[in-house]
Amino acid sequence: MPRKKATAESNDSKSQRTRARILDAAAHTLSVKGYSGTRLTDVAEYAELQAPAIYYYFKSREDLIEEVMFCGISDMRRHLQAELKAQPDDLSPMDRIMVAVESHLRHELELSDYARASIRNARQVPQQLQARQKKEAAAYNRIWRGLINDAVDSGDIRDDLDATMAQALILGALNWTAEWWDPRFSSVDAMVANAQTFVRHGLSPLPQAAKRRAGSPSRN
């Protein structure tokens, strides 16, 4: 009996590893080729499997892609929560936003094919495959909303900004880097540093002198 149990557990473990390998391959393929260009034959080749083997783990191409899209945003949410939880309690609201900027970019650009696949294909995947992904995206956005609101309450964000629009603009810019960033020409470290500077200065209140200049009438 113990031997049979050990064999069953071993088979389960092997099955789980194979399923994970298929998902990893699908995430990579989807992040590079997009929804319309992702073929199960490409996924199988990257996973070093025969294409029919995929159907043992996923009923269809759509089921496989739906799982990748869900994992992409779900993993990003958990990653951000972990990064924020690791920060000291006295970290300022603006600095917590900087942590979120770095977490988003690093997860998107260097840590996860899943995140890149989810972000790049969010508007390509059919609506019927987006239910779980949208629910996770809403949870991720709520974390950001809390960060932005805390910064507003503390006076870290200028009072002439609409907080909802500011959040949408920040996340839109961060997401778009998956489309144009090229690791051959700049590092992720450089991208993070530039994004943090851009966001911090875009959100921070203007110095009093700058406020006076902005409010003064133009000279003709």
pLDDT in tens, 120-174: 888 888 888 888 889 999 999 999 999 999 999 999 999 999 999 999 999 999 9
Give the confidence band of 217 by pLDDT, cuts at 50, 70, 90.
low
Host H or E run for residue 137:
helix 131-154
Number of neighbours of residue 146 by Cβ within 10 angstroms: 13
Residues 6+ apart with CB under 8 A from 104: 76, 80, 171, 174
Task: Tell me how many degrees the CA angle 10-40-26 measures, rounded to the nearest 5.
Answer: 65
Q: Quick one: what percent of the chain has pLDDT higher than 70?
A: 89
47, two tokens: 């996973």
Q: Is the pLDDT of residue 193 over 70?
A: yes
pLDDT of residue 73: 92
pLDDT at site 220: 45
Q: Which two tokens stand for residue 192?
A: 């993070």
Q: How far apart are CA 15 and CA 11, in angstroms?
A: 6
Is domain 66-206 classified as CATH 1.10.357.10? yes
Mean pLDDT of the chain: 88
Q: What is the pLDDT of residues 82-105, one digit of tens each?
A: 999 999 999 999 999 999 999 999
138 CB contacts (<8 Å, ≥6 apart)? none
The H or E element spanning position 48 is none
The verdict on pTM exceeding 0.85 is: no
